[in-house]
Chain A
Amino acid sequence: MKLFNYLVHACAAVGIVTSFQTLAVEYPSNQDYGTKGEFLAKRGTEYGRTAILMPVGPILINLPEAPGTTSTTFIDPITGEPLDGITLNNRTRDSAWDLSDLTNPSLYRQLTCDTDDCHPGMPIAAHATVVRFDPNKGPLLYGRNSGDLSHHPELAGTDGELNTNENYWDWGYDPIAYVHMTAPYYIRSYWNYGFDNQGQYIIRDSSKHIEGGPINPWSVEGNPELEALFGPTNLGVWLGEPIVHWDHLAATGVTGFPTWLGNLLVVASDQQSTGLAVYDVSGFKQGRLPRLLSVYNEQRTEPSGNTVGVGGYWVEAYGASKMVYSARALDGIDVPKRDYPSLFIVDFLDPENPKVTCEIFFDQDENNDSDGDGSSDPMYVNFQDEYAYVDHFQVNMALCETLFEDGQIDAQEFDQIVYKFDDIANQCDGSQYFRPIGQVGIFGGYDWWVTDDVNEQGMCFFVTSDEPDTRAPYVAGHRPLAEQVGVPIDTFIHVHIPETLRTETVENAVSVTNLTTNESIDFRYQLAHTGMISIWPNENLAANTQYQVSVSGIQDFMGNTMQDYQFSFTTNDGDLLNGATPGIPVTPPEPDAEPSYSGVSYFPTKSSQISCAQTEQNQDVWVVNPDNDTIAIITSSFHSDTLEKTHSYKMEINLGYETPTSITQTGELKAVTYQNDDKVVFFNTDGQPQFSIDTGHGTQPINLVSQDGFVYVALYASGEVIKINVSTKQIVQRLYLGSTPKAMALNGDRLLVTRFISALDHGSVYDVDISQNMSLTRTITVNKILVPDDIDHGSGVPNYLRSIVIDSAGEFAYITANKANTDRGSRAGSTNSEALDDDNTVRSIIVTLDLTNNIDSNIDATSRDNAIDLDNVSDPAGITYLVNEQINAISLQGNNVVLVTNAENNTTARFRVGGAPQEMCSNLRTLYVKNFTDRSISAIDISSYLNQGDINPNVETISTVATETLSAEELKGLQVFYHSSIPQMGNEGYMSCASCHDGAGHDGRTWDITSLGEGLRNTISLNGSNGTRFGNLHWSGNFDEVQDFELQIERLNGGDGLVQGQTFGANDDPISHVSANLSNDLDALAAYINGLGKQRVKHSPYRTYNGDLTDSASRGQQVFTDKNCNSCHQSDAFRDGNMHDVGTITAASGNRLGAALTAIRTPTLIELWDSAPYFHNGQANSIDQVLNTADHKVELTEQEKADLIQYLLSIDRKLYVDDIEL
């Protein structure tokens, strides 16, 4: 039956070859292909062990490798082994594939025949190929035995649609060696297979065969002089005439693969782990020997303690200044021992100082397959955007480089960087090749377990992202570098676009112009399989001349068009025999070289905790320290000799006022809000206070912006915005907005203020017209998101609207917020009976407001349009522009990262900053980030990012607090509180304690935590409670230690917990379980929460301007006593520490610790004015409702009730008699 099947199959194959399609093959539609990791299809098993996947036009060419292929045709039915007499060649076929439907790819045509004489392709060291651009034939994919393949849609329906051109020499050289991916010259590779260390390292002209031609004689064997020079494995005359030679191994000891980039030759090690060597090869054609610039072979230490040099099995260039190594685990028999499969990046932007910038060790945890498994065997690497794909891993290289600044990648960072596809479970193998095509990745592999019934070889299609690929391709780097001077006139030009490109759009996409003559030069060019474009000028460039390289019109495979890109460089004096190696280009050494960004700049007017000058680089930076009641001034210094900018702590100002929260520049003054003292203080630039404006007792000025001599202040507690005339030093208007106004942004006459704690079913932004007297034009509703919950998206109410920015045209505003999914839960009447989990409790969102139509841009709340869900992060805090309006920066408070998105090239970068980054301030050179829990700012030098796209800019950290008010343990606890650390606080970084208790307060939400053995629970503020000082925690009193939150971290957040290993078993009871003294971090968290006492309680805005009780509240105080309210809400802290049944328990109240809930712990009345909704289940929105509910229904006259309400709303720090103090 096997044989019969084969014959049927063979006939079918012939049929495919001879019956033409009538329609041209189309590119796939750029649709949503599913969820990341989803398996779509498997194809081509019968064609062998896939080695290369590269498209020409829309047709994918699959070139297999014969060794390692398991025959699927002639196999022994008993043993599964190939039958004798079947040659390797006959086990493999080159094939072409129609990808128009990525969920159902189909064979377009078999390219090699079914006989032993038809050799498969496997060009360029088996796992690489190029597309060369022929002026007459167009793009030619080098398929070797399948021919140079060109695509012609106009010939659809004929063989000519995918045409074969077999004269490789037409174009000047035959690309057969690794170096041919970047140069038309031959240089040997020192790969471990058949390692030959004899002879010299030679640059040979691949277009010129040694006299006698490629066939006769076939080699230089018999020529002792050339034999000694070439070594036994490089005797072929077709490899080209030798130009220069030297003893590379003796000089460097670096084995591996040569890559030509600009005027540099970079040799990167194979599995012998010998590092990296960099040469300047200019002048080689004149016989000048290359100059060795550096040898880098730092010994690295693996997690096992084994030391081994930098190396890999294979290596590819990324961005023209990095080498990405894929390294297999090795037993150390023939090559150095390597304990872990690995990935390395060596950066040689400065070719004299290469360095490792990313180091990933896979499969460190044998019990956890997510970091790798027994099949993890990284051999080859390819790229899409900032991602490397190696074996079954997707590696975020940019994030890795960011997180590697401390020299290591820990487990939680690894989880953020690496994603593992489940190839083996889907009967696939990803080790041999990866081809990224937008949202879909095509894995090529071999038969992993030859002896079993499953053949993993062929191609497998997986979804690699949760979203369709709408990101345009971009230039990741190039050589020469931008603005580089002294470039040798024989330089090549290399431009890297890490994408799978539409080859026809690369044709004629590049031009090189002599800016002196304004004429374009002639060159040949090719595209390597990784997206590296090599440009080889036909003649040497002119000396002392500036050239501009332009790249335009390129599209990726899914049709996204790259934005036009240009860079220029200047050649040297043309002396190829004596010219020096150009160094890293630097900005011309003139002080006025600052500012470094010279494009159109935009500095939005928005509230912030940092104030920085926009253009003057030596001006001070001011930052508030709310927990320490100080303002810090940081000096910035520009050094004209080195062009560096440094910062230092200058001074701290303490006026004895509490909680400075926001700062802005107004004229020559700085204005600062002091939230808990109701002050706006104005300082001169020396840091001396000039005058203060009191906003009224308990009003809580929290943010401010300034314009045209007026300062606008949001009063969080009184719900107002006020307008201060700075010159007359007076409040000229107060305007009531509504609840909890917080972040502010100003554009022209339009002031937007976010409502921090949202209504139960929507968010709000107050829209204020300030053209004359302020007026509330409208309140813009921010929609509750109603998309289905999954691991990457979810529904919920935008809440904690922390920061806002408006674009320069005033057309759109962007807001950072959390998304609270309070619909979830199994209570009766729930609209979503799923239990809360780490993916869908609190998610992060960027809200977009359409300011033309005055609506949330997410018009259809059931769609994801215009409501950006940030996956796997928590608590977006600040948002601003990075000088260039196309680039925005979002600080992620829970992740200690600033996320930068560039709309010009659809790229994102992550800048690692300090603890709990919040608001930011940007000028032309530096992005300043307030790190709340680290008591510092990060000064990120963004010039290299803005100008060269450098995603690893220099970050300077400057402390802003000299003397911390918290104890060391409390401060550590604060840092734990705000950090959604992976894996301790969650698998993916979604939640921190601050996600629901920002500022240790509450979120105005009621959560269904039935799944934790409880029920509906209204979030309570932690401020003033001193943790467990007044009894057990929570409405049901289910925790007797703060450390019991370990249970919630493990069971709700999905974290491993702060205690190593699982702490809470399924039947463990937090009351009987002793959770203290098990973890320093957990104890620190407890120390912080237990320290949140009276001083954290705020003042009530319901009191008089000076803080007294109003007459009504004074009468209400008597009613409170008369009606015995204080029998439970006893004085001191207005709580008795006991549990009562006050008639509010319903079925939805659920249980206590999984058992019946019979009573509720008495809540404090402190800050009632700020803590709605009320009761454990949030059933009352107002005190009035409370007084009409169950046992709280008290017989009162209307006047008594009104007075009592005024009193209850006035209970604040003044009435909190702290018995500890007494």
Chain B
Amino acid sequence: MKLVNELTKSGLSVMTILLLSGCNASISIEDETDNPEPPIISPPTPEPVVVNYNPKPPAKSLNTTDLASLTITNLQLQDDSSGNLLLSWDESNAHSYRILFTANTGEFNTLVTSNNQASLTAASRLSGGQLFIESFDEFGNSVFSAPIQVGAIQ
């Protein structure tokens, strides 16, 4: 049995051994004691184990944030004297915020911040447009504010 175990470890089957040993070779695995010592077979140099496929990507965790806690509340809009639009809102559990402004010209701007305030420059709001605030948790999940219509600067 020892021999079998050895062979198995070496990666060769019994049938392979028989073939390698020629037609007259005889290997008994029935009785270890009555037979002479088994021939010494040097196992070949082990080839490195080659993986056929890449490992699968690492598992991502489930994210279980209660998105309701990210909701933007008490959003305030205020024009400053230069025509900039100042935005502010209450602190929430958000990890970060993204302000999306789509001008009526089709131009699209975003701003990412961890603060609970931001401003839209007069230059970017000349034609007016629509604005959202998106608040994120640490995994990147988010909730969006209601759309805010930004009038053109007269």
Contact = CB atoms under 8 A, between A and B. Distances in A.
B56 A736 contact: yes
A845 interface: no
Interface string A730-768: 111110100000000000000000000000000000000
Interface in B111-153: 132, 134, 138-144, 146-147
Contact of A1185 (B52, B60, B142, B143): B52
Interface stretch (B12-20, B77-85, B102-110): B102-110
B139 A1105 contact: yes
Contacts of A1101: 57
B139 A718 contact: no
Interface string A928-940: 0000000000000
A729 interface: yes
B144 A691 contact: yes
Interface string A1075-1109: 00000000000000000000000000110111000
A233 interface: no
Contacts of A711: none
Interface stretch (B2-10, B26-34, B38-46, B61-69): B61-69
A691 B143 contact: yes
A829 interface: no
Residue among A962, A1105, A1172, A1206 with most chain B CB within 10 A: A1105
A688 B96 CA distance: 20
Interface in A937-981: 962-963
A1110 interface: yes
B59 to A, nearest CB: 7
A1185 B62 contact: no
A1069 to B, nearest CB: 38
Contact of A1205 (B54, B61, B63, B100): B54
A1169 B54 contact: yes
Residue among A699, A1172, A1182 with most chain B CB within 10 A: A1182
B57 A734 contact: no
Given A656-B100, A1205-B54, A694 B141 contact: yes
A1188 interface: yes
Contacts of B64: 730
A854 to B, nearest CB: 24
Contact of A690 (B57, B59, B139, B144): B144
Q: Interface majority SS on B: helix, strand, loop or mixed?
A: loop
Contacts of A1184: 50-51, 54
Given A694-B140, A963-B106, A1181 B53 contact: yes
A698 B57 CA distance: 10
B48 to A, nearest CB: 6
A682 to B, nearest CB: 9
Contacts of B48: 1188
B22 interface: no
Contact of B57 (A678, A679, A718): A718
A679 B140 contact: yes
B144 A688 contact: yes
A696 B108 contact: no
B139 A694 contact: yes
Nearest to B61: A1105
Contacts of B138: 1106
A731 B62 contact: yes
Contacts of A1209: 54-55, 57
Contact of B60 (A692, A696, A963): A696
B139 A1172 contact: no
Contacts of A656: 98, 100, 108, 110
Given A654-B102, A1182-B52, A1185-B52, A691 B142 contact: yes
A3 interface: no
Given A654-B108, A1106-B140, A692 B134 contact: yes
Contacts of A736: 56, 59
A695 B141 CA distance: 9
Interface in A226-250: none
B58 interface: yes
Contacts of A1183: 54
A88 to B, nearest CB: 79
Given A694-B140, A1182-B54, A734 B110 contact: no
A698 B56 CA distance: 13
Interface residues of B, number: 35
A326 B140 CA distance: 67
Contacts of B59: 734, 736
Nearest to A1193: B48
A729 B62 CA distance: 12
A695 B64 CA distance: 12
Nearest to A1185: B50
A1042 interface: no
B142 A692 contact: yes
A717 interface: yes
A1209 B57 CA distance: 9
A689 interface: yes
Contacts of A1206: 55
Contacts of A731: 62-63
B130 to A, nearest CB: 9
A693 B132 contact: no
Contact of B141 (A692, A1102, A1172): A692
A730 B63 contact: yes
Contact of A1182 (B53, B58, B143): B53
A78 interface: no
Contacts of A1104: 58
Nearest to A1168: B54
B101 to A, nearest CB: 10
Contacts of A1220: none
Given A1181-B52, A1205-B55, A690 B140 contact: no
B73 to A, nearest CB: 15
Interface in A610-650: none
Contact of A678 (B50, B102, B140): B140
Contacts of A732: 62
Interface string A674-706: 000011000000001111111110110000000
Contacts of A488: none
B67 to A, nearest CB: 5
Contacts of A1185: 50-52
Nearest to A738: B56
A143 interface: no
Contacts of B62: 730-734
Nearest to B98: A656
A1188 B67 CA distance: 48
A689 B140 contact: no
A1105 B139 CA distance: 7
Nearest to A1206: B55
A1105 B60 CA distance: 6
B60 A689 contact: no
Nearest to B142: A692
Contacts of A729: 67, 141
A486 interface: no
B104 to A, nearest CB: 12
Nearest to A699: B60
Residue among A678, A688, A1205 with most chain B CB within 10 A: A688
A1172 B54 CA distance: 9
Nearest to B141: A694
A688 B58 contact: no
Given A656-B110, A1209-B54, A734 B63 contact: no
B58 A690 contact: no
Given A655-B100, A690-B143, A1185-B52, 13 more contacts: A688-B132, A689-B134, A690-B144, A691-B144, A693-B141, A699-B57, A730-B63, A730-B64, A731-B62, A733-B62, A1105-B63, A1105-B139, A1184-B51
Which 7 pairs between the two chains have the least Cβ-Cβ distance? Answer: A694-B140, A696-B60, A1184-B51, A1101-B57, A689-B144, A729-B67, A692-B142
18 contacts: A688-B132, A688-B144, A691-B143, A691-B144, A692-B140, A692-B142, A696-B60, A718-B56, A718-B60, A730-B64, A730-B67, A963-B106, A1105-B63, A1105-B139, A1169-B54, A1184-B50, A1205-B54, A1205-B55
